[in-house]
Structure 1
């Protein structure tokens, strides 16, 4: 079955059109065959942490992207469409204006999902293909977004998706939110970086009360912050998803990349060959989050590294289009 999945977050809106071969839910088999993947940085969450509302220009950027996605979906012949909105939409007082616009443009009901559902879908997208590939379980999947970060622990033996997530939490810690709160200067001052690290530590303390980091054996990182930091650690000459997918980045390399990014100004970051233009002003904050997570979790892992995944919540949304029986069971 051909499906279309849309993930609308705080910083970006992404589309996956894919053919689903469900395989066996019991064995975790099956595959997604990509037809189209698109990403646009729309910064829907611009100022939401401060004002509690979507800015008019942010809504306009998002609706423009939805129009382009609607054209692609219509021409693809997708049989099922699921539109998921996450952190910024949960927080915005005028979210009905956003939802009405999406309905009008795409003809689908947008779902404002909880942080726990976001975490579960991220786990599904990231772990379904890990079985039998030598990544020890349990897996700790971390999805660093613009407004929130999801932590999901799960997997036993060789079938992480069948075991499902065992614990999950979403915290208000994302690259846009942290930058707006703590990192106004370019490059950020030492005092700003210290304040940002303190906020990261505070949120990690909160997450650790629900998700036992000490049980993790593999740390899996998702989304644009992780792939950008990994591209820097690997010294890529351009953004290369094939090189990045399942790359193993030592925690020490994450720390070094974070330090480099925080020392750069806007123009230096913009010139990096793998840097998406929409991440230039928030990658420092995102790298601080990833560095904090890697430092906190590394002592417990079989290998002190971050395993990068190009597959994430978008893939989890696509799998869920197959029907409720294909959703990974939760045990939160």
Structure 2
């Protein structure tokens, strides 16, 4: 069977990403292998101020739509047969989201989807399965700018929740003036309250493998690996002791602006929010470690995946094309 060329766009609170790929059927857990044609990521901070104002900022809208225009040209040039544009937390929360949706429609010629947190979680889980081996029950954590998705399952989601917390939201709400003792305590209380809510719908103690996705977690992993630059081959699939990851979270949380600027794996658009992201990741790791320990099977490591919701969107397009053939 000839491969299907698809184009996936993930529009988050901080970043807009594009994946153009050829989908080949295979016998893996997703049924597909994605052969990358282009993969791009641009930080636009679409969610700037949304937590406070409930609206998308005019400057953020302009930055985001400029990127969509560029991505539309790339998609046309590569001849992708189908495109899906998925917008998540920032767009979901904005009262003027129609302005952005209309702008995307004009540029791409398709209807953008402002998906629910549950759909976001499902797509993230699907993307994380690419190349996965074994049938361990995994807790997949997609830590974004405005929301964080937790999905528990083996080959398919058994329980999922989208939490209104992330690197941008926590920064704007608690850490905008720096990491003071009071601000840190308030931020941690916020995350812990949300994890209490997560435990109402899933058993974190059943986690056999903890898998982290998205820019915050890949950055923390690069720090933990002492990389000099962002090295995808070193980061993807890396398995690190929880103590090592927590030590990097703590170091990032206490880092100075000069230190963050010196880390070549940390992109400029993420420098001001990475401390908040590290705080959120450390709280999730701590809670999961506590619950698995109570269950008598303490978790010892975390895995980082560079395949995530963007790949999940591409997989959904491959599935749709396959259904049309049938």
TM-score in terms of structure 2 length: 0.93
Partner residue of 1:121? Answer: 123
Aligned: 1:313 with 2:304:
no
What is the aligned residue count? 315
TM-score in terms of structure 1 length: 0.91
Shift of 1:105: 1.1
Q: CA RMSD in A?
A: 1.6
Match of 1:173 among 165, 168, 185: 165
Q: Is the 8 A contact 2:50 2:94 kept in 1?
A: yes
CA–CA distance in 2 between the matches of 1:309 and 1:290?
14
Aligned: 1:15 with 2:18:
yes
Partner residue of 1:330? Answer: none
CA–CA distance in 1 between the matches of 2:16 and 2:317?
18
- 1:45 to 1:4, Cα distance in 2 relative to 1, 3 A: same
Partner residue of 1:48? Answer: 50
Q: Is the 8 A contact 2:117 2:161 kept in 1?
A: yes
Gaps of 5+ in 1: 328-332
Aligned: 1:226 with 2:229:
no
Partner residue of 2:76? Answer: 74
Match of 2:192 among 201, 206, 221: 201
Shift of 1:174: 0.8
CA–CA distance in 1 between the matches of 2:183 and 2:266?
23
Shift of 1:131: 2.4
Aligned positions of 1:118-267 closer than 5 A: 118-132=120-134, 137-155=136-154, 160=155, 164-186=156-178, 188-267=179-258
Q: Is the 8 A contact 1:125 1:313 kept in 2?
A: yes
Shift of 1:185: 2.2
Partner residue of 1:37? Answer: 39
Any idea what the Cα deviations from partners look like across 1:45-71, whole Å, max 9, x if unmatched? 000000000000000010111111111
Q: Is the 8 A contact 1:218 1:302 kept in 2?
A: no
Range with bigger deviation, 253-262 or 4-13: 253-262
Any idea what the Cα deviations from partners look like across 1:26-52, whole Å, max 9, x if unmatched? x64430001111000000000000000
Range with bigger deviation, 315-324 or 223-232: 315-324
Any idea what the Cα deviations from partners look like across 1:58-91, whole Å, max 9, x if unmatched? 0001011111111111111100100000011111
Shift of 1:325: 8.5
- 1:274 to 1:126, Cα distance in 2 relative to 1, 3 A: same
CA–CA distance in 2 between the matches of 1:141 and 1:326?
26
Aligned: 1:108 with 2:104:
no
